[in-house]
Structure 1
Amino acid sequence: MGKLNWGIIGGGEGSQIGPAHRLAAGLDRAFDFVAGALDHRAEEGRAFGRRMGLAADRAYGDWREMLESERGRADRVDLVTVATPNATHFEITKAFLEGGFHVLVEKPMTMTVAEGEELVGLARETGRICAVNYGYSGYALVRQMRAMVAAGDLGRVRMVVAEFAHGHHADAGDADNPRVRWRYDPAQAGVSAQFADCGIHALHMASFVIGQEVERLSADTVSCIESRVLEDDAQVNLRFDGGAVGRLWTSSIALGRQHGLTLQVFGEKGGLRWAQEQPNQLYWMPLGGRLEVIERGGPGLSPEATRASRVTVGHAEGMPLAFGNIYADLAEAIRARAEGRAIDPAADLYPRAEDGLRSMAAVFAVAESGKAEGAWVEARPPMMR
């Protein structure tokens, strides 16, 4: 099977996430960027699409036009990425799944748990892939952590500590900045701000690495900038279905922190520590041994980590490369389905709609627990209880 066709909705000029998706999708030359509805302003979107190299008839004014045109083409897109504001994810993803397209949707996948359950059911019914861009799970050493946990190197996992804390929204004077304001507006962001924006990345990574899903949680949420309706800081205690305990801190007012995504896993026989800002090193402490530094790209890594290493050892690895691994996984999954064969196990790691659904259930659970002064609440979606 040759190169696959790719299109994106959103991610237009000035977008924070659009360039990362374009770089990631083109990284392995598995996808050709052939279609897009890049802006909610039709003419600006068409013009930007043409500047990006799209043919005039595939630089669309909106996603509905793109859906109608692409579904009738022999060379239709094989994968559609939805990189639009949160409140539009469900409607667009549903429409393209129903149209027979594979979809990668930005997180959060939906605005409600019921919408998430509908997309999970629809993906199963149509046989289409519905993936969610928890792109940080594409880092090579995150996949190495997962492989070490699965291999039993840590023994039983006792504790996982996840953080996603930054200080980029710490200025109360940014209250009217449109790039900040919408994140704390319930009409646009839903029931949660910081946890739904960043906390779910940390939660997904914790579950991805330890192979367990959260069952119950207790949350302390606060708006440190008092004018905000939704939280800008949250501390969440977690209980996983495999017996692990979790601690998760997420914040947007942590001055001095830049990106702040870190993960620590502590087991009976050893502990692991990784930080996204230093992604080339994974720290491993075996019980009774010495602290070891595992280098990305070095010898002896798992097949999953080896496959995900894009540049030679010692060189910097970045976020678009991690996103690129998600796209590489999806290309392999689409080709395997088309060719009627099993997917390469080292590539069968892309986040599914089920992951998006679990995250949305956790978002609502955090909001509920925060309002109830930290009461322990059910964190699983109804269809997974």
Structure 2
Amino acid sequence: MKRLNWGMIGGGKGSQIGPAHRIAAGLDGHFAFVAGALDADPAAGRAFAQELGVAADRAYGDWREMLEGERGRADKIDLVTVATPNATHYEISKAFLEAGIHVLCEKPMTVTEAEAEDLVLTARRMGCICAVNYGYTGYALVRHMRAMVARGDIGKVRLVVAEFAHGHHANAADADNPRVRWRYDPAQAGVSAQFADCGIHALHMASFVTGQDVARLSSDFASCLPSRVLEDDAMVNFRMDGGAVGRLWTSSVAIGRQHGLTIQVFGETGGLRWAQEQPNQLYYMPLGQRLQVIERGEGNLSPEADRASRVTVGHAEGMPLAFGNIYRDLAESLLARGAGRQPDPAVTLFPTAEDGLRSIAAIHAAVASAKAEGAWVDARPALFR
């Protein structure tokens, strides 16, 4: 089996997301971790990359050094993961795409719609994949939920209710913690904090599961900690292009909530409910019948769910495994390109730059709506209107 070369920018020692990406990328043996610029401190980044087994000449001090070092190599990286603060995503991703290197960017993909549109067009022009890490769509039962909706198991979708609420930023005394502070700093996070950080995971999942895109929205933002410039709680109502009505709540000050990503979809003939903290169960209520509990790994699930299941039925499924499904999809797509063949259709579920662009447009629409006291605004990117 050919192994693909993989590199990472950001995700250094103490990073929240770095370990999940490294576990996920290595899960199936498709990617070899060969290059990294892992820290804002060049010396710390080089040292940590070497601790992780990266050769000294490919343990870089910053992303520019990594770009120059990799682009001239015969064995340059095939894919780079960008896991840096939001405001840096665009410049880094565009530079690597223009060097012919495929990109998996953390969300939000950029901080402005113009930047996001440019990444979409750059990826198309270069013939590169630009993916966005809405990694929770890698869970087996989320993919089964999507398949059930697509095959009509619950009829036409009427209503979607999504949440991503936690309480880990509720302590005002923790406001200067670097892992917390940057998320509420417009210079690093952009125009939105909690909605851009967590809410768009829930919003993207609503589109992923229903197959519909958000057309209009109305929002209410709050900074429950008065010292914060950006919001730490948001309620967003939205309407989708296929007719579904959507409700979304996201918060970082909901003390007692841990992760809090849930999605419920209600159709004409049934309803579905899934929660990321209990990912092995999907609750299905057919109209007029008893509640059914679908278990991950059981027989007679969809091909999408079977492909995404990593451990036997009854065992816990975790977030790195879901991220691993995104990496496996990307690997299959890249290997298929290299071999001049079409990839397995089941691997085309990874989120793309187009998804990232839709999210950025929704973020800016939600900010505009909140400033206009909840006015309904167009949430579609200009490119897709």
Q: What TM-score do you get using the length of structure 1 for normalisation?
A: 0.99
2:289 is equivalent to residue 289 of structure 1? yes
Give distance in 1, aligned partners of 2:83 and 2:384.
27
Moved more, 340-349 or 202-211: 340-349
Q: 1:189 Cα shift?
A: 1.1
- Match in the other structure for 1:196: 196
Q: 1:100 Cα shift?
A: 0.2
- Match in the other structure for 1:356: 356
Q: Deviations over 1:271-290 (max 9, x none)?
A: 00000000000000011111
2:209 is equivalent to residue 209 of structure 1? yes
The SS at the match of 1:380 is coil
The SS at the match of 2:236 is strand
- Number of residues paired by the alignment? 385
Give distance in 1, aligned partners of 2:250 and 2:325.
25
Q: Deviations over 1:155-194 (max 9, x none)?
A: 1000000000000111122222222111111111111110
Q: Deviations over 1:189-248 (max 9, x none)?
A: 111110000000000001000000000000011111111111111110000000000000
- Match in the other structure for 2:224: 224
Q: What are the residue-to-residue correspondences of 1:284-363 with 2, within 5 Å? A: 284-363=284-363
Give distance in 2, aligned partners of 1:343 and 1:159.
33
Runs of 4+ residues over 4 Å off in structure 1? none
Which amino acid counterpart does residue 325 of structure 2 have in structure 1?
Answer: N
Give distance in 1, aligned partners of 2:267 and 2:19.
38
Q: 1:79 Cα shift?
A: 0.6
Q: What TM-score do you get using the length of structure 2 for normalisation?
A: 0.99
2:105 is equivalent to residue 105 of structure 1? yes
Give distance in 2, aligned partners of 1:189 and 1:40.
16
Percent identical residues:
77
- Match in the other structure for 1:171: 171
The SS at the match of 2:6 is strand
Q: 1:339 Cα shift?
A: 1.3
Give distance in 2, aligned partners of 1:186 and 1:86.
10
Q: Deviations over 1:127-176 (max 9, x none)?
A: 10000000000000000000000101111000000000000111122222
2:315 is equivalent to residue 276 of structure 1? no
Give distance in 2, aligned partners of 1:248 and 1:20.
26
- Match in the other structure for 1:3: 3
Give distance in 2, aligned partners of 1:74 and 1:290.
59
Which amino acid counterpart does residue 53 of structure 2 have in structure 1?
Answer: G
Which amino acid counterpart does residue 324 of structure 1 have in structure 2?
Answer: G
Give distance in 1, aligned partners of 2:221 and 2:340.
47
Query: Which consecutive unaligned segments of at least 5 residues does structure 1 have?
Result: none
Give distance in 2, aligned partners of 1:55 and 1:83.
20
The SS at the match of 2:175 is helix
- Match in the other structure for 1:82: 82
Query: Which consecutive unaligned segments of at least 5 residues does structure 2 have?
Result: none
- Match in the other structure for 2:127: 127
- Match in the other structure for 1:246: 246
Moved more, 181-190 or 144-153: 181-190
Give distance in 2, aligned partners of 1:77 and 1:185.
32
The SS at the match of 2:285 is strand
Which amino acid counterpart does residue 51 of structure 1 have in structure 2?
Answer: E
2:18 is equivalent to residue 18 of structure 1? yes
Give distance in 1, aligned partners of 2:173 and 2:373.
28
Give distance in 2, aligned partners of 1:185 and 1:80.
26
Q: What are the residue-to-residue correspondences of 1:132-171 with 2, within 5 Å? A: 132-171=132-171
Give distance in 1, aligned partners of 2:7 and 2:264.
36
Give distance in 1, aligned partners of 2:340 and 2:267.
39
